[in-house]
Amino acid sequence: MTADKPLRADAQRKRDALLATAREVFDAGGFFDLRFDDFARLAGVGTGTLYRHFPTREALAEAVYHGEVAALCVRARELQATLPAAEALATFLRGMVDHMHAHQGLARTLATLMAAGSGALAEGGQALEEAVTDLVAAAVKDGTARDDVDAGAIMMALHGIGAAHDRPNWRTEADGVITLVLDGLRRPPAREGSG
């Protein structure tokens, strides 16, 4: 299929410019305030290029989201390869809070798209859950995490953090939730005899 062919260098550059522009607009919180054609003007490309790569506003938003998820999954693998398991998990979860904080506009836009029935969020959520599953499994294997909590519970906590982003002390509270999650995951030290 032609869709699977790699893009020519100039076409890839234009696509990347559109995605970078969309990320900036997301972060500024104005994704739905612009006419769709304005993304082409802001990215310095023609409207034909915009529609060739992203036929709808939703397609553009989903592409940005998929890019963010891919980067987060790569980050999870890098952490797992370079840090002790418990530290890799903690660093990734705290990094997720940093990401949510830096990209609140993206989160709001995605919530709107989810309400409209976009399937991109489910796919991205599954990829992130697999990354968290791998991090937790490594921590369980090296004995630093309990083996009775799965990644789904952690993802629920992350979803709750994201859904509460309008709270006035969101960042402090979000960091506190991650601390609770990490404390809850930690395997308690083995007890000597109890009697």
Tens-place pLDDT, residues 16-32: 999 999 888 887 877 77
On the question of pLDDT at 193 being above 70, the answer is: no
pLDDT tens for 33-72 read: 888 899 999 999 999 999 999 998 888 888 888 898 999 9
98-104 mean pLDDT: 85
SS (H, E, C) the chain: CHHHCCCCHHHHHHHHHHHHHHHHHHHHCCCCCCCCCHHHHHHCCCHHHHHHHCCCHHHHHHHHHHHHHHHHHHHHHHHHHHCCHHHHHHHHHHHHHHHHHHCHHHHHHHHHHHHCCCCHHHHHHHHHHHHHHHHHHHHHHCCCECCCCCHHHHHHHHHHHHHCCCCCCHHHHHHHHHHHHHHHHECCCCCCCCC
pLDDT tens for 63-99 read: 888 898 999 999 999 999 999 999 999 999 999 999 9
On the question of pLDDT at 195 being above 50, the answer is: no
- Please report which confidence band the pLDDT of residue 2 belongs to, taking 50, 70 and 90 as the band edges: very low
Average pLDDT, the chain: 86
Question: What's the one-letter identity of residue 164?
Answer: A
pLDDT of residue 93: 96
pLDDT of residue 175: 95
- Please report which confidence band the pLDDT of residue 192 belongs to, taking 50, 70 and 90 as the band edges: low
pLDDT tens for 124-150 read: 889 999 999 999 999 999 999 999 988
pLDDT of residue 191: 64
What pTM was estimated for this model as a whole? 0.84
On the question of pLDDT at 107 being above 60, the answer is: yes
For residue 69, how many other CB atoms are within 10 A of its CB?
A: 19
Cβ–Cβ < 8 Å for 181, 157: yes
What domains sit in the chain, N to C, each tagged with a CATH number?
Answer: 1-55 (1.10.10.60), 69-188 (1.10.357.10)
The residues with which 145 forms a beta bridge, in sequence order, are 186
